[in-house]
Each structure stands twice: as C-alpha cells, then as structure tokens.
Amino acid sequence: MRSTMWIFILKRLVQGIFTVWFIATATFFAMHNVPGDPLLNDRATTDAIRANLEAKYGLDKPVMTQYGIYLGNLLQGDLGISFTQENREVNDIIRDHFPVSAILGILAVIFAAAGGVLWGALTAIYRNRWPDYVIMFLVILGISVPSFVVAAISQLFLVNVNGLFGTTVLPVAGWGTVLHMLVPAMVLGLGTMAYLTRLMRSSMLEIISSDFVRTAKAKGVPPARIFAKHQLRNAILPVITVLGPSIAAITTGGFVVELVFAIPGLGRYFVQAVQQLDYTVIMGTTVFYGAFLVFMVIVVDVLYGFIDPRVRMEY
Amino acid sequence: MATTGSAIDSDESFAKSAGKQLAIYALYTLIFLTVLIYVFSIVAGRTGGGASGGAVDSANNSITITLRQEPPQLDAGRATDASSFVVLAHVMEGLLAYDDNMQLIPGMAERWEIREDGATFWIREEARWSNGDPVTAHDFEFAWKRVVDPDTASEYAFILYPILNAEAVTQGELPKEMLGVQAVDDRTLEVQFAQPTPYFAKLVAFVTFLPLQQEFYESTNGRYGADADEMLYNGPYVLDEWVHGASMLWYKNPGYWGDHKGFLDEIVTAYITTDVNAKLNLFKDGQIAETQLLAPMLPEAMEQRWQIDRVMDGTVFFLEFNHREGRVTDNWNFRRAMQLAQNSDELVYKVLKEAAYLPAVSLFPVWIQGLNGAFRSEYPPVEHKMNLELAREHLEMARIELGIEEFPPIVFLTGDTPISILSSEYYQELYKQNLGLEIRIDVQNFKQRLAKMTSGDFDVVVAGWGPDYDDPLTFGDFFASWNLNNRGRYNSSEMDAQVRIAQAELDPKKRLDAFGEIQRIVYEDVTLIPMYERGWSFVVDPRLKGFKRRSIGPEVDFNFAYIEDAED
C-alpha cells in the first residue's frame, strides 16, 4: 500500500506540472492579446526610446520566440524583471511579499477552519434552537457582505475603540506585530468561515442521524466519545476537502484587505501588475499562485488518505 | 427509523455533553492560535515594516506619513511617478531647488548664469554625497549623459532636449559624449543649448536633472536605486531603511550643506496605501501627520474642527479632441458647437462637487506665474458664455460642411476612475439635451486609454495634464505639432509659431505674450474644452508646521516642516 501511495503522489505531481504549464501558456497568450500597451505612459516617448525599452524586455521579438524564451527562463526559475519596478526581479517581489500574504492567509484559514468547525458543530447540535438561528443569521451576513465593507467597518471600529481608550489598543493598519495581524486575518477569513460553518452544519446533521451513531449510542458509548470519535471526526471530512483550495484562495485573494490595512502582501502587486500590464509580474505571480493552488490540492488529497481509510483503497 | 434519529439529537443531556466537548476543543484552538500568532509575529517582524512612534513624536522629533504607492525604484534618471518624486525631493537635491514659496533657490549650485547659447553653474564647495565625497560638476555631466543614452531608455529624456544634441543622442544618431554638457572642473558645469532656453534654471530643479556619481553607479551593477544601500544621497534627508511595499525611514542628513531645510530628525513612511478612507482612519487614530480629504469626508472633518487646507495639485483636465482628418471633431464648427453648449462651472459645482476643484477656463491653470503676478490676471482667458442658439447654428454649419444627414455617435474615450466616468456621463446627457448629439462612452483602464489615444481611436478623450516645471511652457507646448503628447494630433502653423517663440524668446514680456496668444488660439480654434483644475482638501496634524503640498514637483514636501514643541 505504501508504494501505491507514492505512485499516486507521483501521478498527481505530473498532472500538476502539466496544469501549471497550461496556466503559464494561457496567461502568456491572454496577456499579449489584451488591448493596451505596457510601455505606454503619461509622457509620450520617442520611437528610439521605445525601441530600447522593447529590446530591454524582449518585446521586439516575435510572440512565439518570446514564449520560448519565457518557458526556458521559467524552467530555470527565472521570472524576469518587473516592467514597473524596473530594478527588481519578480523572484524578489515574490520572496519579499509572499511570506506576508502567506502568514495572513494561514492565520485567516485557521480562523476560518476553527470557527467553521466549532460553529458548524454547535448549530448542528442545537438545531432549530436559538444558538442555531443566531449563528446561521451571522453566517448569511458573513457570506453576503463583501470583504471591503467588512474591512472598512472593522477599521473604523478599531479607530473608535482606540479613541475610547485614548491609546492604541489595536493598530488601525500596518504590519509587523501580532496585534497588526488579528483583525485583518479575521476579516480575510470571515467569508470562508461562514461557508465552512454551513458545510460543517449540514455534514454534521447527516452524521448525527446515521446508523453507526445510533448503534454507538445503543452500545452505551459515552456521549462525549460519540461526539468526538463518531460524529465530529466523520463530519469534518468535507471541510478538509475544501480547506486546500481555501488556503490558496485566501492567500491569493487578500488584495482588498491588504489595501485597506496597508499590508505589504503579494496580492497588491498582483492586482497592480494587471492594471499596469506589467507582463513579467503578471506572469510570475499567476504561475506562482497557480503552482501553489495545485500543490495545496495535492496536499489535501494525500491528507485525505490519512483521515479516511476508504480513500486510501482507491489509490 | 427517522424518529429514532430525532430522538437522539433531541436528547438534552447528549447536546450538553457534546457542547462541553466542543468548548474544550475551542479552548485548545485558542491556546494553539495564541502560540501560532506569537510565532508568526516573530517571522513577520522580518518581512514587514516596523511600528512607528505615531503621527508626530516631539520627543524624537520625528513624524510618520504615508506614501501613495511603493516607488518602483529611486533612480532619478528614470523616475516617472509621483511617489518616487516625493522621496527623491527629500533625499536628493539638484542644481537648484524651490523654497517654501515656490521661488527658485540655490541648491547644489551656489550661483548660475543663463545665457542665450548656454548656461554655467558653479557647484558649492560644501556639497557632499552621503558617503562623504564632494558633489562635483562631473556627477551632473555623468547623470545627464546617462539620461539621454538610448540604453538607459529614460522616459523623461525629452526634458533634456533644450541641451545641444540631446535629441540626436536619444535617437541614437550621435554618441552620448556629444551632449552639450561639460564639467570644466570639479565645480563648474558648462551647458550648451540647442536653442535659447530662458527657462533652463527652472528646468534643472526637475528630478531627471539630479546628479549621479559615476563610481558609485558602476559599483551597483545596474541595481542603482533599487534599495536604500544602492543609492547615494545629497539631500536634506538620507534614506536609511527601505522595506519594500511597507515602509521607509529617512533621517536628517548630517552632511547636508544648508540649515534652511531638514528640521526633523526622522521621517517614517510607515504605510503604503491608495485607500483614502484607510488614511483618514490612520489620521484619526493619530498614526499619520497629514491626509487628504474627499468631499464626503468634509462634514465629519468640520465636526472634528480640523483645520482644512486646500491646494491645487497642478493638473488641468480637459476634453481633448481628435483632430485627425476624417473625424467629425476635425471640423471647427462642430468643436465650436460643443464648446458653446457647455460650461465648466456646472460640471464642477453641480456634478463633481469636490470642494477643492476649480472650473477650468484655459489650458493654463490658475497658479501659473506671469511677469509680476498670476499669468491669468496678466493675460485673462477669453470669457466663455454658454450660448445654445449659436451652438446649434455652428452644429448646422458643421453638418453642411461635412455633407452628412446626421451626426454619427461621438466616441468619448475615458478613464475608469469614478470622476472621469461621472464627467463623461454628465457630458453625454448635456450634449444629448443641448445639441441632440449621441455620445458613446468608451471606458478604458489607464494603459488601454493611452493606447487608444496614441492610435487615434476616439473622437473626444477625457484627459489631464500636470506640470513638470514651474514655467507656462510645461503646458504651453502641449499642442505643438511635433509634441508626442499631443495625441489628438492638433496641427496649426499659427500655434507652432507661437510655441517656437515661447520656447526661445529671451525677452520675458514677448515670451509671455506668446503664451497669451497660445491661450487665445486654444479657445478660438477650440483645441480643447477645459473641464476642471484638480485640487486637494487636506488636513495636517496641528503640531506639524511648515508642511507644503505642491502643484509642481513633489506633491508633499516636508523639507521645511518642523514640530513646534520638539525637544532638541
């Protein structure tokens, strides 16, 4: 069984590499076909300067040649130099700013997962009683209110709290200490938390009324043990399934939160690059995010095998 | 069977015990999170900016401010964006500089002489780089030659065109050594002009003219300006820490030659964000020293009894026509009809309602200086009156001249900012009602709008122009037929003749007369329709004095700022 698992992982890795290549190719051609010109700026340039800029970024070559060069560099892990941050390599940008997004993202996912599982289980246990109604109302709010609204409101709330105490209880924006992370991470994870709560609730309800729980109860297993071993453990599976993609989505989707809380994450660079047609940064971040997402999906697949023995059989 | 299930989960004691279990898990999670966050904060300390000492810290004589965006790089020869200009204005100094009243003052040059055929600058003896080396004339010669070098591909190379051979060098027709600038000795810089350039002294205060030490530049292997330690400084402040995307620390330059600038010990740019609401929150929380206010924020600001200031940011916005042949907008009667059917007062006061905006009435903004006072009071713009009857007559003439039954939809190219879209929608309604014209709004993001402007794929474009240097010419040459920024391809021999006078005339009065003529032509030939002059409302921490927002150069200027009760 051990060797079949390695084969499984290998198979997924090869698939993953193919997926990343596809992402890279699709992004490359989509980007080159988007109207607009990355080298145009407020102040018009002469043809000579333009020609030099094109030569610098290799834009003077035919598109297929550029694609070849690009793939070659990608294989060597060289993502090129940013068009707008002229002296910075895309590798530098990712290395400097992804850790920030990752810390924020992981924290947000933990908030989301812990909250989702706890609230979801709670609503299932107290189904159709007041804790269920209150939490599910909040869940609907959490899903439907966009993050820029939540971010702005929570920031305003921080200002008022600080004003009330006459000192900085929690910083309003910025990055660097524990206190800087708490609120942004919660805001970032809120939507996912709400989604996971609903998922957990329905999954839990299904388990609660299943046969093996009834059997366990009939055998006289202590309630706490039934809850922990039979119900929670089984109900959590769907949550784990969506957790991998959620981590990637949260980590890459923090643009609004990063902007509002002035956090130096990668999301901001990603969005700015698209607005400014910074080809190398768009390519670099897209491929990086793509690879990250693929990797997280593989990790979840493998983890799944440990939690659910039935999955392992299908390797 | 289903009844059994509901019997189980309605079991009160089971729910209680499960709830208890859940509470225990929650506690575990909380403990785990606390530990995790602690670990993260240690990691994050290495990736992010530091905490700051608050907006105004009198004990340390330091302030905290925000930057609009991360400077792409701080290589002055290639800088093009507002944030880079702000940083460079504090950590570097050119031959000349502006004082707090926008008057030219000596910088690296202690005196200068502008002649018909060239200029001489005498570098002050005490001028030093932050590594202790003297700033010499050679540093300017090297910097300027590098800017025009086609390999540098500087987008602002055109601003050096008044210098002999600059244009030919950027085109690759002459080697860069042929540029008309030469360090006669360490302290004397000789410049030869391509044509008389009476405004050259104002030009050299611009960032592209900042000096660069050859030896240091070559030691950075092409990474000059990418990081704090990959630059040399000669301004009132020195850039010390630069955490990309997060923060910068500028400290007072001990080697700066003068005592008229740089009164703060430290300036921290702790936050980088374009979110004006976030900035306002930071200001309210006492974290930053100044912030900009948008119209919806003004009532609250007044409630808080803040001292609200206003400043023109320098930029003029206008409807620029496509003058290419075959376009409806190439027809003068048509443009005149559009001009007569509108009034910028209505746009600004009834539609945009931004308190700091002014209705534009000319290509030249209100703050441009003339001979002794404001340019626009010495050369008043043609008085504009809305006249619908006349407008419709001109429209009819245009229709006959163009030989068409009906006007095609007019393509209004516009940016994707809320203000541009709002303005376009206003004009759409206005021209429909007043002239029966159909306007088709084409909203594009910045780069795509520029691409369409450059290729001429529009009839009218909502555009703006901001100044580079403190001279009417920074606006005045916009519609010269050879100006690449004239993307509507306006071409008039009368305009070109006046621009040539404005560029080269040595008599200040005659030169300003030319600008007066340019202003008149722009109105009478309806080269554009002025919309508004942009301005900012802003609020500054009352403890901070001497802070300036500028129309030209850096948008914010802390060089003359000081804290009133600072402890030395």
- Cα R_g (chain B), whole angstroms: 29
SS3 annotation, chain A: CHHHHHHHHHHHHHHHHHHHHHHHHHHHHHHHHCCCCCCCCCCCCCHHHHHHHHHHHCCCCCHHHHHHHHHHHHHCCCCCECCCCCCCEHHHHHHHHHHHHHHHHHHHHHHHHHHHHHHHHHHHHCCCCHHHHHHHHHHHHHHHCCHHHHHHHHHHHHHHHHHHHCCCCCCCCCCCCHHHHHHHHHHHHHHHHHHHHHHHHHHHHHHHCCHHHHHHHHHCCCHHHHHHHHHHHHHCHHHHHHHHHHHHHHHHCCHHHHHHCCCCCHHHHHHHHHHCCCHHHHHHHHHHHHHHHHHHHHHHHHHHHHHCHHHHCCC
**Three-state SS at B464:** strand
Closest residue to B17, CB basis, from A56, A223, A272: A223
Domain B45-92+235-289+541-568: homologous superfamily in CATH: Periplasmic binding protein-like II (3.40.190.10)
Contact partners, residue B490, CB within 8 Å, separation at least 6: B321, B323, B479, B481, B527
Q: DSSP class of residue B135?
A: P
- Length of chain A in terms of residues written: 315
B244 contact A CB<8A: yes
Domain B311-536: homologous superfamily in CATH: Dipeptide-binding Protein; Domain 3 (3.10.105.10)
pLDDT band at A259 (very low <50, low <70, confident <90, very high): confident
pLDDT string in tens for chain B (568-residue length): 344 444 444 466 777 777 788 888 888 888 888 888 777 777 766 554 444 568 898 888 999 999 988 888 899 998 988 899 999 999 999 999 999 888 899 999 999 999 999 999 999 999 999 999 999 999 999 999 999 998 888 889 999 999 999 999 988 899 999 999 999 999 999 999 999 999 999 999 999 999 999 999 999 988 899 899 999 999 999 999 898 888 899 999 999 998 999 999 999 998 888 888 899 999 998 899 999 998 888 888 888 889 899 999 999 999 999 999 999 999 999 999 999 999 999 999 999 988 899 999 999 999 999 988 999 999 999 999 999 999 999 999 999 999 999 999 999 999 998 899 999 999 999 999 999 999 999 999 888 899 899 999 999 999 999 999 999 999 999 999 999 899 999 999 999 999 999 999 999 999 999 999 999 999 999 999 999 999 999 999 999 999 999 998 899 999 999 998 766 5
Under an 8 A CB cutoff, do B48 and A176 touch? yes
**Three-state SS at B488:** coil
| Strand partners for B308 | B539
Which letter, b or e, does each residue of B302-316 get, where b requires 16 or more Cβ atoms within 10 Å of its Cβ?
eeeebebeebbbbbb
Secondary structure element (H or E) that encloses residue B37, with its range: helix B12-47
Tell me the C-alpha distance between A235 and A32, whole Å. 46
pTM: 0.87
For residue B200, what pLDDT is reported?
A: 95
Helical pair A266-275 and A279-307, crossing angle rounded to 10 deg: 140
Mutate to test the interface with A, among B28, B42, B66, B70 (most CBs of A within 10 A): B70
Under an 8 A CB cutoff, do B155 and A49 touch? yes
Q: Which two tokens stand for residue A173?
A: 């924006």
List chain B domain ranges. Answer: 45-92+235-289+541-568, 94-214, 311-536
For residue B74, what pLDDT is reported?
A: 92
Q: Kindly list the residues from chain A whose CB atom is less than 8 angstroms away from the CB atom of residue B272.
A: 262, 264
DSSP assignment string, B429-440:
HHHHHHH---EE
The CATH number assigned to the domain with range B94-214 reads 3.90.76.10
In this structure, how many other beta carbons lie within 10 angstroms of the beta carbon of residue B286? 18
In the stretch 277-296 of chain B, residues with CB closer than 8 A to chain A read 277-278, 281-282, 284-287
Which of A90-94, A295-299, B375-379, B525-529 has the lowest average pLDDT? A295-299
Q: Which two tokens stand for residue A201?
A: 């609730």
B175 contact A CB<8A: no
In the stretch 32-71 of chain B, residues with CB closer than 8 A to chain A read 33, 36-38, 40-41, 43-45, 47-52, 66, 69-70
In the sheet that holds B247-252, the strands lie side by side as B56-57, B62-67, B266-272, B247-252, B237-243
Tell me the C-alpha distance between B293 and B290, whole Å. 10
Whether the CB-CB separation of B504 and B162 falls below 8 Å is answered with no
Under an 8 A CB cutoff, do B278 and A227 touch? no
Identify the residue with better confidence: B442 or A272: B442
Q: Kindly list the residues from chain B whose CB atom is less than 8 angstroms away from the CB atom of residue A264.
A: 47-49, 243-246, 272
The interface predicted TM-score (ipTM) is 0.82
CA-nearest residue to B68 within chain A is A262
pLDDT above 70: percentage of residues in chain A: 96
Q: Is the pLDDT of residue A315 over 50?
A: no
Tell me the C-alpha distance between B331 and B352, whole Å. 29
In order of A42, A71, A84, B79, B553, the CA distances from B156 in angstroms are: 10, 33, 15, 8, 14
Half-sphere exposure at residue B71, Cβ-oriented, CA atoms within 13 angstroms: 27
Tell me the C-alpha distance between A229 and A308, whole Å. 13
For residue B52, what pLDDT is reported?
A: 54
Tell me the C-alpha distance between B412 and B417, whole Å. 14
For residue B346, what pLDDT is reported?
A: 95
Mutate to test the interface with A, among B3, B22, B272 (most CBs of A within 10 A): B22
Under an 8 A CB cutoff, do B285 and A125 touch? no
